[in-house]
Amino acid sequence: MINIKVNGKAYQLAVDPSTPILWVLRDTLGLMGTKFGCGVAQCGACTVHLDGEGIRSCISPVSRAAGKEITTIEGLDVKLGKPLEQAWIQEDVPQCGYCQSGQIMAAAILLRDNPNPTDQDIDDGMSGNLCRCGTYQRIRKAIHVAAKLRT
């Protein structure tokens, strides 16, 4: 049995402890907002927060989350999430949209730690998140917009 908290809810799970968090979220808990893109920590589509730290859930065994709290796109704190959502809509960021929950989860950490990032800070913070549709320019802009919305 593994005890974890996801988006504020406590769970006791009987799963193989080596199962990546990603598949526990998707297959066991039915939380489909966290995406599978590569499975090898290359794309960031699976980004979630583990005790407030951005992690690649596809390579993190659920045992790592024992006794800890996971936050997914479904449970992102409004204070962090709202300005990002608004900015994403305003800048028409998503194309196919598949990478975007990972992008938002990464951007949320970036803005929390650096409320007023430069382009360079954004590039540094976001380069782990791939977007095959090529929405990078709009993500950059939207992060600046979200930074303003937060103040």
Partner 1 sequence: MKEINHINRRQFIKTGSAVGGGLLLSFYLPAFGKAIKTAVNNAPASFIPNAFIRIGADDIITIICNHSEMGQGAYTSVPMMVAEELDADWSKIRFESAPVDPVYNHLGFGMQATGGSSSTLSEYDRLRNAGATARAMLIAAAAQTWKVDPSACKTENGKVINKVSGKSLLYSELVEKASLINAPKLVQLKDPKDFNIIGKPIKRLDTPEKINGTGIFGLDVKVAGLLTALIARPPVFGGKVKSFNADKAKAIPGVKHVVEIERGIAVVADGFWPAKLGREALEIVWDEGALKDLDSITQRKQYAALAKEPGVSARKEGDVAASMAGAVKKIDATYELPYLAHAPMEPLNCVADVKVDSCEIWVGTQFQTMEFMNAVQITGLKPEQVKVHTTLLGGGFGRRGVLDCHFVREAVQVSKAINAPVKVIWTREDDIQGGYYRPAAHHVINAGIDASGMPLFWQQQIVCQSFAVGTVMEAMMVKDGVDSTAVEGAADMAYNVPNLKVNWNMAPGGVPTLWWRSVGHSGNAFVTETFIDALAHAAGKDPYQYRLALLEKHLRHKRVLVMAAEKSNWGKPLPAGRARGIAIHESFGSYVAHVAEVSIPKPGTIKVHKVVSVIDCGPVVNPETIRAQIEGCVVFGLTAALYGEISFEKGRVKQRNFYDYKILRMNEMPQVEVHIVPSTEKMGGVGEPGVPPVAPAVANALFLLTGRRIRKLPFAKEDLVKKV
Name the β-bridge partners of 6: 9, 70
Site pattern 77..116 for partner 1 (x: CB under 8 A): -------xx--xxx-xxxxxxxxxx--x------------
Provide, rounded to whole angstroms, the least separation between the CB of residue 91 and partner 1: 9
Burial class (CB in 10 A: 0-12, 13-18, 19+), 134: exposed
Residue 78, binding choice from partner 1, ligand FES, none, Cβ under 5 to 8 Å by partner class: none
Residue 140, binding choice from ligand FES, partner 1, none, Cβ under 5 to 8 Å by partner class: partner 1
Tell me: does residue 66 bind partner 1 (CB under 8 A): no
Q: How far is CA 107 from the centre of its chain?
A: 8
The answer to whether the Cα torsion of 55, 37, 99, 77 is positive or negative is: negative
Burial class (CB in 10 A: 0-12, 13-18, 19+), 133: middle
Tell me: does residue 133 bind partner 1 (CB under 8 A): yes
Provide, rounded to whole angstroms, the least separation between the CB of residue 92 and ligand FES: 11
How far is the C-alpha of 52 from the C-alpha of 49, rounded, in Å?
A: 5
Footprint on this chain of partner 1 (rule: CB under 8 A): 16, 19-20, 23, 26-28, 30-40, 42-43, 45, 72-74, 84-85, 88-90, 92-101, 104, 122-124, 126-140
